[in-house]
Amino acid sequence: MKYLVRLAYTKMVLMIQFSRIFAADLEKVCGQKLKDYMMLFDFSSKKLDLPNAENAVVGSSQPVSFSSTHFVSGNPIVEPVPGNLEKAVFGVGCFWGAERLFWELAGVYSTAAGYAGGFTVNPTYEQVCSGATAHTEVVLVFFDPVIISYTELLRAFWESHNPTEGMRQGNDLGTQYRSAIYTNSEAQSQQARGSEDLFQEALSEKGYSEITTEISELVSFYYAEDYHQQYLAKNPGGYCGLAGTGACYLPE
């Protein structure tokens, strides 16, 4: 019996030592605070209920710091932008892979990672990950409608993730990973809702449940911290959680 207790104690000590070594190595490799990654993968602390305006965490009078120039295209990611452009905002889970999805499309002028859908003004990444802001991670897309239509952006949106998972995308669990479309005009709103109905048919044929995507008018978009902007261009081997369902969006 003493031998078994001693063996269990030794295993516990080794596991603690390994976790500390792993944490230190992870922080060196990633080059950013380890707590960011703990927030991404610590399922036990995730809040899955959205706060309301009264109990959401208080924000800041100052926005976070970020470069206004797109790391890939060199185009501005803040307004003013050329007058022929339109903008769209999508929540597709973790914004690292989602932003790359859109900046690679022909006709997209620039993109930016940010937060929307919640109540907290000028939120930080840590606050959004806590679930106390009601924001979700989103991508702002400036696009030329002559080259790429809003319908084509919707196709990329629907086919690149699973919009039936509620407050998660795959292994990414939390309110900040919910699927969302935030519209900038009545025309976008009508197209987004019509596309939802159409894609639901494609999902149902493949055995998926009801779409949980949040579709509403954009109230405010807050830019994410600079290290999140065009993250996968700066870190080509970085995490990308995009995974579609295999269903196809086929507008008439």
Q: Which of 174, 195, 198 lies closest to 183, judged by CA?
A: 195
End-to-end CA distance of the chain: 71
Helix %, strand %, coil % for the chain, to 5? 40, 15, 45
239: Cβ contacts below 8 Å, ≥ 6 apart: 40, 94, 96, 97
Q: Are 96 and 113 in contact (CB under 8 A)?
A: yes
Q: In this structure, how many other beta carbons lie within 10 angstroms of the beta carbon of residue 19?
A: 10
**Burial class (CB within 10 angstroms; exposed 0-12, middle 13-18, buried 19+) of 72:** middle
Q: Which helix (H) or strand (E) holds 60?
A: none
Catalytic, 94? Answer yes
Q: Which helix (H) or strand (E) holds 159?
A: helix 150-159
- Of the candidates 30, 94, 129, 248, the residue annotated as catalytic is 94
Q: 197: which 2 tokens? A: 């109905």
Q: Are 178 and 212 in contact (CB under 8 A)?
A: yes
Q: What amino acid positions are annotated as catalytic residues?
A: 94
